Amino acid sequence: MDIVNITCAEIQTAVGFVYVILPVIMNHTNNPDCEQSWCLEDWHLVADPSDPQRLIDPVISVSSDRVVTSLCVNLNYQIICDSADESHFSHEIKFRVRNEPAVTPNSGEFQLIDV
Reference 97, options 2, 3, 1, 24; nearest CA is 3
Q: pLDDT tens digits for 58-109?
A: 999 999 889 999 999 999 999 998 877 777 889 899 999 998 754 444 444 4
Which CATH number does the domain 2-98 belong to among 3.40.50, 2.60.40, 1.10.760, 2.60.120?
2.60.40
2-7 and 88-98 strand pairing: parallel
C-alpha dihedral sign at 49, 96, 93, 26: positive
CA distance 70 to 17: 6
For the whole prediction, is pTM greater than 0.75?
A: yes
**39-67 average pLDDT score:** 93
Per-domain residue ranges of the chain: 2-98
Mean pLDDT across the chain, nearest whole number? 84
